[in-house]
Amino acid sequence: MDNRPEFHWGVATSAQQTEGFPDFQGRTPSIWDVFAEKKRKITGGHRPNQATEFFRYYREDVALAARLGIPNLRFSISWPRVKPNGYGKTNENGLDFYDRLTDACLEFGITPWVTLYHWDLPQILQDKGGWVNRDVLGWFEDYSGSVLKRLSDRVVHWMSLNEPLAFTGAGYFLGIHAPGKTGLSNFLPAMHHAILAQADGIRQIKSYKSNLIAGTTFSCAPVVPVSTNPKDQGAALRADALFNRLFVEPLIGYGYPIKELSFLRKVGKWMMAGDESRMIELPSFIGLQNYTRETVKHVWWVPYLQAKKTENSSNPRNKTMIGWDIYPEGLYQMIHKFSAYPEIKSVIVTENGAAFPDQVDAGRVNDKMRISYLDQYISATLKARAEGAKVNGYFAWSLTDNFEWSEGYFPRFGLTHINYATQRRTIKDSGFWYGDYIRKQTQST
């Protein structure tokens, strides 16, 4: 008899990448709406205004997932749709939409998994400093409380933040994502406040109702040195601490990885009494999101890390459309790495997928490369589970093609093709394959 926890099969989406209707029924601009208006910020000058019009086609998309036999759907709540002023008065029209979406999931026999923050901070809050402003903790609590009050009678599985390293690192240090801020003076407070918020969010969810399952999600990637040179090995240790440990270790009580990342000592400027304990809140599960791997080498001129990414493979057969390495062993390694923390009870792969140049031909999308990709990565996940890793779910990214942040609409990650001119949906061969795979797996257990 298999006494392991149930394995959750699903697909993932997010509000900013799919909903569209950015100024409809009271919604105000997010940082991504504003960021996309700036010249040369998004590939092709694309904007998320239309996206897949999920706000209009949500029932059709939920029905697509049901048709494929996918039992779990992860989606996020649009903060500016629920709180047009960032905090305070709630937009009931916004919450009404998530009522309808949740009810549609349940009607079609699909379990909803909700992410509270998936990068769409209201611009009105960014004008006050955004994640750099410690007040964001109160704003987030106010917003989250309104969502929990409305949906917690039907939604059991919750995530506080999506990939905090991505939205703080790319948005507040490198400036390549919204809101386009740069430098350590922006990154460190944004990072610290996000670390506090992820714990606060988990606490808030767990305390709201005893049956709620509260987690958060992390981007991750295996990091290896380019050589056995001690300097390259040191560079890999620092990069691993940044990419894979920075946000999870404070959450589970280990504190900041200052030994490897000495620049983190500067975060003391933004630390307040009680923060070290406030950062800690053991989650019911953590979500892992893996898309590639990183090989690094030591370079003296890169500030703070003295590490630089290098090319893993020049073979295009081993890469996705946007140049990410196809390396299922990496997901396998990350599952084992995070499972090794005694404090982590359960790991769910909450995102994994690939972009390929899909085309509709005679009503069909023959995306055999994506099928191969999914087969390899799911096999890696199940191999880790068979070896005793605490992995209890796999969610493919994504149900449909969508707005892929700074890459615009060019990369297509979906199991369903979107014709953005007509909004026509076409299930790809990979979508049918994934549904068949899930059915076979659930029938055999």
What pLDDT digit, counting tens, does each position of 353-396 carry? 999 999 999 999 999 999 999 999 999 999 999 999 999 999 99
Any domain includes 170: yes
Q: What pLDDT shows up at residue 283?
A: 98
- Please give the sequence-ordered ranges of beta strands (E in DSSP) within 87-244, or none if there are none: 111-117, 157-161, 213-220, 223-225
pLDDT in tens, 17-26: 999 999 999 9
**CATH of residue 324:** 3.20.20.80
Q: What phi and psi values does residue 82 have, to the nearest 5 degrees?
A: -90, -40
Catalytic, 351? Answer yes
Q: Is the separation of the CB atoms in 74 and 9 below 8 Å?
A: no
Pairing of strands 8-12, 72-76: parallel
Whether residue 338 is predicted with pLDDT greater than 60 in this model: the reply is yes
Any domain includes 3: no
Any domain includes 186: yes
Q: What residues contact residue 373 under an 8 Å CB cut-off, 6+ apart?
A: 320, 326, 353, 354
State mean pLDDT over 74-91.
98
Any domain includes 97: yes
Whether residue 317 is predicted with pLDDT greater than 90 in this model: the reply is no
Whether residue 113 is predicted with pLDDT greater than 60 in this model: the reply is yes
Residue 53 belongs to domain spanning? 8-444
| CB atoms closer than 10 angstroms to residue 257 | 20
Q: What is the dihedral of CA 336, 295, 219, 359, to 10 degrees?
A: -110
Place of tokens 């300097």: 231
Q: What phi and psi values does residue 231 have, to the nearest 5 degrees?
A: -65, -40
State mean pLDDT over 28-47.
93
**Euclidean distance between CA atoms 131 and 429, whole angstroms:** 41
The gap from C-alpha 81 to its chain's centroid, in whole angstroms, comes to: 19
Q: What residues contact residue 367 under an 8 Å CB cut-off, 6+ apart?
A: 356, 358, 428, 429, 430
pLDDT in tens, 145-170: 999 999 999 999 999 999 999 999 99
Which residue, among 286, 284, 267, 287, has the nearest Cα to 276 in the 3D structure?
267
Whether residue 112 is predicted with pLDDT greater than 80 in this model: the reply is yes
> Percent of the chain scored above 70 by pLDDT?
98
Burial of 315 (0-12, 13-18, 19+ CB in 10 A): exposed
Any domain includes 350: yes
Q: Is the separation of the CB atoms in 445 and 386 below 8 Å?
A: no
Whether residue 118 is predicted with pLDDT greater than 80 in this model: the reply is yes
**Euclidean distance between CA atoms 152 and 162, whole angstroms:** 19
pTM: 0.98
pLDDT in tens, 404-427: 999 999 999 999 999 999 999 999
Q: What pLDDT shows up at residue 57?
A: 98
Preceding omega of 179 cis (within 30 degrees of 0): yes
Whether residue 1 is predicted with pLDDT greater than 70 in this model: the reply is no
Q: Is the separation of the CB atoms in 88 and 27 below 8 Å?
A: no
Q: What pLDDT shows up at residue 257?
A: 98
Q: What pLDDT shows up at residue 315?
A: 65
Any domain includes 59: yes
Q: What is the mean pLDDT of the chain?
A: 96
Q: Is the separation of the CB atoms in 233 and 304 below 8 Å?
A: no
Whether residue 140 is predicted with pLDDT greater than 90 in this model: the reply is yes
Q: DSSP letter at 5?
A: P
- Domain tally, the chain: 1
Structure tokens at 243: 């990419």
Whether residue 46 is predicted with pLDDT greater than 60 in this model: the reply is yes
Pairing of strands 213-220, 157-161: parallel
Q: What pLDDT shows up at residue 444?
A: 82
Q: What pLDDT shows up at residue 242?
A: 98
**Euclidean distance between CA atoms 325 and 25, whole angstroms:** 41
Q: What pLDDT shows up at residue 198?
A: 98
**Euclidean distance between CA atoms 365 and 420, whole angstroms:** 15
Which residue, among 170, 77, 150, 74, has the nearest Cα to 120 in the 3D structure?
77
State mean pLDDT over 231-248.
98
pLDDT band at 4; cut points 50, 70, 90: confident
Whether residue 316 is predicted with pLDDT greater than 70 in this model: the reply is no
The gap from C-alpha 438 to its chain's centroid, in whole angstroms, comes to: 22
pLDDT in tens, 175-228: 999 999 999 999 999 999 999 999 999 999 999 999 999 999 999 999 999 999
Catalytic, 6? Answer no
**Euclidean distance between CA atoms 180 and 41, whole angstroms:** 9
Please state which of the ranges 241-250, 282-291, 308-317 shows the lowest mean pLDDT.
Answer: 308-317
Catalytic residue among 163, 249, 281, 404: 163
Any domain includes 144: yes
Burial of 20 (0-12, 13-18, 19+ CB in 10 A): buried
Q: What is the dihedral of CA 339, 341, 347, 352, to 10 degrees?
A: -70
Q: What pLDDT shows up at residue 313?
A: 63
Any domain includes 370: yes
Catalytic residue among 19, 53, 351, 404: 351
